[in-house]
Amino acid sequence: MKQKANNEIKKKVELQNPSARGSNPPHTQIPPSKKPSTEHHHKSIIEGKPKETVQNPFMAMAKYDLTPRIAPNLDRHLVFPLLEFTQERELYPNDQILKAKIELLNNTNMVDYAMDIHKSLYHTEDVPQDMVDRRVEVVARLKSLEEAAAPLVTFLQNPKAVQELRADKQYNLQMLNDHYQIGPEQIEALYQYAKFQFECGNYSGAADYLYQYRGLCTNAERSLSALWGKLAAEILMQNWEIALEELNRLKDIIDSKVCFMHLFFVDLFASSLEMLMRLLLQNFSSSLNQVQSRIWLMHWSLFIFFNHDNGRTQIIDLFNQDKYLNAIQTNAPHLLRYLATAFIVNKKRRPLFKEFIKVIQQEQHSFADPITEFLACVYDEFLENARLFIFETYCRIHERINMGVLAEKLNLNYEDAERWILNLIRTSKLDAKIDTQTGTVVMEPNHPNVYEQLIDHTKGLSGRTYKLVTQLLENSQPQAAR
């Protein structure tokens, strides 16, 4: 077991390939309601400027990079894939990215990975003494947690013993205590061991232990924290199907946190105004935590939705819900870029596209980038020109057009289509009339005017006469020379 612990610290696949992993889970640090911002860890990237001489076309795109806005809403482990992406695209100087990685690693147990980056950054085989000391500390702590969780880990690795567990958590706790001398201390040790494994980069082991822990945990907050960690571990391992299941499970828990306003009615019997105010403040705090949890959930879901086969549809279904869309408009308008992209490439949710355009236009003052600006500026004009083109095509080949069919082709309801055609007739763009009894548009016959025909036939007469006279003169000159 000792050798296994040291090997997990040294694993190069786990420690040196963060791009194959997802983002940061709240369980790995502090439960989401107390999770600290990681924004200060990325200032070297946020404030970094592209080189003055732009040799790489990706460098010019750095001003559209959303890493500074997304990173504070992710666990530090989930930020590594973003840094890997920016490093591959050379959006920022390589030294800045390497320094940002080291800063992120300072509060994790991935010491070997930090040492390798330090060697690459400073082109040396020597590493600071504090990193060496930190590695010794990590190995010692891992050994201690392993010993504390050993009784429960041994039990979970025994298939016959695991079969004794039931859906009733209280029964399981009593059975473990009576038969295997496993109590709350060992269960808590399993959580700490799983969390430590995650910080070491062993996401597979962390996911397994967190799953087992949630089956035994009776503390709602700690169980929720473990679920965040399980979600992050699955994202980092790119297990998109399992990650989607955990995401939906976490969403249900967040949405089921009913507002505490019902306590107001209970407190009508309270004897103190102070108690009433305390309950109202508790309700307000809970609502803020719920909004923040939704914002975190949406940021983490980006890894899943843009890798899952049906993700572009599911991101629309999630982000377009009123409570999630309100959270975006309030605290995370930059997520509109991803929702806009999903709408563009998805055909199943086109009926919702028009309402989404209104949201983009409303939020232009708080966030705008090339994708959202394009949709906001072009959408209405494009639709109008497309409708005119379709209508002109129909008018050329039909003398009478059914209003219902025309409304469907123009993507309008019947009343709006009738109003649109009336406006064309009123502005002399269309020579037609509407038969309200039959519900059709009757095109007026286009009889050519006699004077117009005469003008058409004679407008080129002077030019042809000039050419004829010129040819006659050219032919007469050679004959005169003879």
pLDDT of residue 282: 61
Q: Report the 10 Å Cβ neighbour count for 242.
A: 17
Token representation of residue 377: 């500026």
Question: Identity (one letter) of the amino acid at 290?
Answer: Q
Paired residues of 87 in beta bridges: none
Q: What is the pTM of this model?
A: 0.71
**Strand, helix or coil at 75?**
strand
Token representation of residue 46: 């946020």
Alpha-helical runs (H) found in 306-399 = 311-319, 322-331, 336-345, 353-362, 370-397
What H or E segment, with its residue span, contains residue 442? strand 440-443
**Strand, helix or coil at 68?**
helix
What H or E segment, with its residue span, contains residue 434? strand 432-435
pLDDT of residue 16: 33
DSSP 211-225: HHHHHH---HHHHHH
- Residues 48, 96 contacting (CB under 8 angstroms): yes
pLDDT of residue 48: 42
pLDDT of residue 111: 94
400-402: strand order across its sheet: 400-402, 440-443, 432-435
**In the chain, which residues have pLDDT < 70?**
1-59, 257-285, 428-429, 445-449, 478-482
pLDDT of residue 457: 72
pLDDT of residue 56: 60
Whole-angstrom distance between the N-terminal and C-terminal Cα of the chain? 118
Distance, in Å, from the CA atom of 5 to the CA atom of 140, rounded to the nearest integer, reads 10
pLDDT of residue 44: 44
Domain range summary for the chain, segments of one domain joined by + = 2-238, 240-372, 380-443
Instruction: Go through 358-377 and write b for each residue having 16 or more CB atoms within 10 A of its CB, e for each that does not.
Output: ebbeebeeebeeebbeebbe
Q: How does pLDDT run across 99-148, given as a tens digit for each residue? A: 999 999 988 999 999 999 999 999 999 999 999 999 999 999 999 999 99
- Residues 58, 90 contacting (CB under 8 angstroms): yes
CA 472 to chain centre: 77
Q: Is the dihedral of CA 278, 283, 289, 292 positive or negative?
A: negative
pLDDT of residue 480: 62
pLDDT of residue 28: 39
Paired residues of 434 in beta bridges: 441
Q: Please tell me the CATH code under which domain 380-443 is placed.
A: 1.10.10.10
pLDDT of residue 15: 31
